[in-house]
Structure 1
């Protein structure tokens, strides 16, 4: 899914707990940016610290892009996060595998 997001392709996310709830992002309707960058590689610092004013400007611009319902202090609207189909399937397969192992152990006792 990461490559689909980086290419700006259409993606569908699903609610982790309710299979009937999905969110679709059509190609061209969203933007993405890498949030994590290497800070140290092979023991050497790769990023130099940015000045405080530059960091402040960055954070305020990101905050301004959020809905006021998400940034209010009292009774904020929670930011919805869904997972991809492949992550959902992986999670369920791991849970089912563990449940099977536990059942097999209990059956052998």
Structure 2
């Protein structure tokens, strides 16, 4: 999947890049589990694991965008709730996929 090069979140330009799975795991070693994406707030970057299926890459990008939005809006406690972020990512992706005209009407 061709990822966007950047995404603007509250006027902050987050660079989006694909990285190897190994690089992603090494940089997330202080966290438990397996990671397919991460957001670096100070560097304003979102990293997605390369080589994923398109749908998985899209949902991972949405997941990381939600993290960035929560961070920029000061929702620190909610930002640490991976289950909530993941649930929102899946729900937003399905909303957009199932209702493309609605998305155009209310968000564009």
| TM-score normalised by length of structure 1 | 0.24
Return the structure number with greater helix share: 2
Return the structure number with greater strand share: 2
Work out which of the two has the higher radius of gyration on C-alpha atoms and give 1 or 2: 1
| TM-score normalised by length of structure 2 | 0.24
Greater relative contact order (CA < 8 Å, ≥ 6 in sequence): 1
